[in-house]
Structure 1
Amino acid sequence: MSVIEKAPAKINLGLDIIGKRSDGFHELSMIMASVDLSDYVTVSELDQDDIIVESNSCKLPLNNRNDVYQAAVLLKQKFGISKGVHIVLDKKIPICAGLGGGSSDAAAVLRALNTLWQLNLSWDELIEIGFEIGSDVPYCLKGGYAFITGKGEIVESLETNFSAWLVLVKPDFGISTRTVFAEINPGTIKRVDITSLKQAVLANSYDDILRFMGNSLEDISIARRPEIQKIKDRMLNSGADAALMTGSGPTVFAVCRNERCAERIVNAMRGFCKEVYKVRIL
């Protein structure tokens, strides 16, 4: 028996760093949304007690350094599963891009194994397990629009009909999330009004969403890689209504009211970067 799960990419419409917690983690406040750029994960049961990961991407580790491998190990250990599993990753989401591809893949494996092994885990139980893998995994288990707080483990789904065309541009370098967070100075970091952004999303207000979008990590990543600012500027000069880095970068997304605008930005960016994607918010 096999289970196939879709693993959508995510963007941060808003990312605010509130401060550092006593446990060493940062207190987060974020608005995330899923987009229609997705990996596909196929999970099949094996008779032998082994975990085998395959992928169409040569850039991925296929061992315990991969989040999907860790997801399978966690469930096997927690529930004493003696059977093995074969995981095939069909990668479409750029790697090390700030788009949550690895977290979404891990979440897809947790959902698939919950079905395959008939574990009957609740969303809260899956979220608790997912957080052991990474702070974006709890969100990726459900996806959609969500308000995320705490260390990433508190996820509130948002009911909204808001949609827009986006253009995602991934430059040909990656950025380490861990090292970006190490540079955060809570006293000087740019703050984002997540409360107002949340209200704008719930009200389906395009103009207010653009007004309150922001990313506290953007200045840190741009200081390291000024190319990110150049991408933003080119998008805005090509007619984007807004442009913002997602996560810790380096991917930047342009927001467009209509597809014609998005096509214009795609054409402007294709000679500038190799990885350019026109997508919709799901």
Structure 2
Amino acid sequence: MRLRALAKINLGLDILGKREDGYHEVRMIMQTIQMYDVLEMKKKKIPGISLAVNYPFIPSDERNLVYKAAKLLMDEFQVEEGVSIHLDKFIPVAAGMAGGSSDAAAALVGINRLFRLGLTERDLMERAVNIGADVPYCVMRGTALAEGIGEKLTRIARMPQCYVLVGKPGINVSTKAAYESLKLDQIQTHPDIDGMVRDIENSDLYSMVNKMGNVFESGIIGKYPVIREIKDLMEEHGALKAMMSGSGPTVFGIFDDKKKMEEAAAVLRESRLAKTVFGTEIFNK
């Protein structure tokens, strides 16, 4: 079985406050894009999970979310056979694109199919939250409003068709570090999440991009000015809007024209500001 684990971008990311349990209350608009890792899975007679990854620095044991996801279902349903999984990573690691969460979601879907467990998408999403806050969304995919800690999901209308340019600089930002540097009382502008939902429902791409925003951005850009440089370059070369995704450091630009996006990608590669440059489209479910 071969499965694609799709990356996500945050079209809007707002944080409302910190909860008593230490988590943050968020409101986000999530969108999957056609950038993906690949999981190859096959049954084996010997019990247990064997995981291989194409990068040696990525763990292939219980620390990997793919392993955790497979184990979660195999333990619950007392699966006696084993599974062999090969993960081919393409989505940048620690990049604010939910690569690890999407891999875990694909593993849940794969184990469910491979061993015919009969779980629905909703069943998988309910279990996915035990692995990570973004994993239920990565099972669902498409365009969604995420609330709570990211686990309360409402599917919204399909985002208008557009092109996305991804640029990740050669730095990593952990989600934990991004939250630690966040000063909630100093956030001056918040994205208009409700307005964005209305614009998406009205298929108004141009109005939607004007309301986009990410409250993490200013704090992270303060530490890593290269993020601002990538944003500016994309917008100077035709992006309707360029913004940091999630807790960063990846920047994505929204384009209404494929040729413009390809030309901006060429300029970004030449600039050497980004280690990963990838032009793609959104994924509408």
- Does structure 2 retain, via aligned residues, the 8 Å contact 1:100–1:136? yes
Give the aligned partner of residue 176 of structure 1: 174
Question: What's the offset of the Cα at 1:124?
Answer: 2.7
Corresponding residue SS for 2:129 = helix
Give the aligned partner of residue 222 of structure 1: 221
Aligned AA (2:277): V
Q: Matches of 2:227 and 2:101 in 1, distance apart? A: 23
Give the aligned partner of residue 15 of structure 1: 13
- Does structure 1 retain, via aligned residues, the 8 Å contact 2:221–2:228? yes
Question: What's the offset of the Cα at 1:175?
Answer: 0.4
Aligned AA (2:243): L
Q: Matches of 2:135 and 2:159 in 1, distance apart? A: 24
Aligned AA (1:261): K
Aligned AA (2:57): K
1:83-94 superposed matches below 5 A: 83-94=81-92
- Does structure 2 retain, via aligned residues, the 8 Å contact 1:128–1:153? no
C-alpha RMSD of the superposition? 1.4
Length-normalised TM-score, structure 1: 0.95
2:146 is equivalent to residue 145 of structure 1: no
Give the aligned partner of residue 62 of structure 1: 60
Question: What's the offset of the Cα at 1:159?
Answer: 2.3
Gaps of 5+ in 2: none
| Cα displacement string for residues 43-92 of structure 1 (whole angstroms, at most 9, x for unaligned residues) | 21222222111122333211111110111121122222232211111222
Aligned AA (1:281): I
2:78 to 51, 59, 80: 80
Corresponding residue SS for 1:235 = helix
- Does structure 1 retain, via aligned residues, the 8 Å contact 2:164–2:281? yes
Give the aligned partner of residue 263 of structure 1: 262
Identify the range of structure 1 (156-165 vs 142-151) with the bigger mean alpha-carbon deviation. Answer: 156-165
Corresponding residue SS for 1:210 = helix
Q: Matches of 1:118 and 1:15 in 2, distance apart? A: 37
- Does structure 1 retain, via aligned residues, the 8 Å contact 2:143–2:159? no
Give the aligned partner of residue 117 of structure 1: 115
Q: Matches of 1:215 and 1:142 in 2, distance apart? A: 22
Q: Matches of 1:265 and 1:212 in 2, distance apart? A: 22
Question: What's the offset of the Cα at 1:161?
Answer: 5.2
Gaps of 5+ in 1: none
Identify the range of structure 1 (169-178 vs 126-135) with the bigger mean alpha-carbon deviation. Answer: 126-135
Q: Matches of 1:213 and 1:235 in 2, distance apart? A: 15
1:246-261 superposed matches below 5 A: 246-261=245-260
Q: Matches of 2:152 and 2:25 in 1, distance apart? A: 11
Give the aligned partner of residue 276 of structure 1: 277
Aligned AA (2:66): V
Identify the range of structure 1 (224-233 vs 103-112) with the bigger mean alpha-carbon deviation. Answer: 224-233
Give the aligned partner of residue 97 of structure 1: 95
| Cα displacement string for residues 144-177 of structure 1 (whole angstroms, at most 9, x for unaligned residues) | 1111111111111122251111110011111010
Give the aligned partner of residue 126 of structure 1: 124
Corresponding residue SS for 2:242 = strand
Give the aligned partner of residue 37 of structure 1: 35
Corresponding residue SS for 2:146 = strand
Q: Matches of 2:102 and 2:227 in 1, distance apart? A: 24
Aligned AA (2:3): E
Corresponding residue SS for 1:198 = helix
Identify the range of structure 1 (208-217 vs 152-161) with the bigger mean alpha-carbon deviation. Answer: 152-161
Query: Equivalent pairs: percent with the same residue?
Result: 37
CA gap 1:12/1:161 in 2 versus in 1, 3 angstroms: closer
Q: Matches of 1:70 and 1:216 in 2, distance apart? A: 30
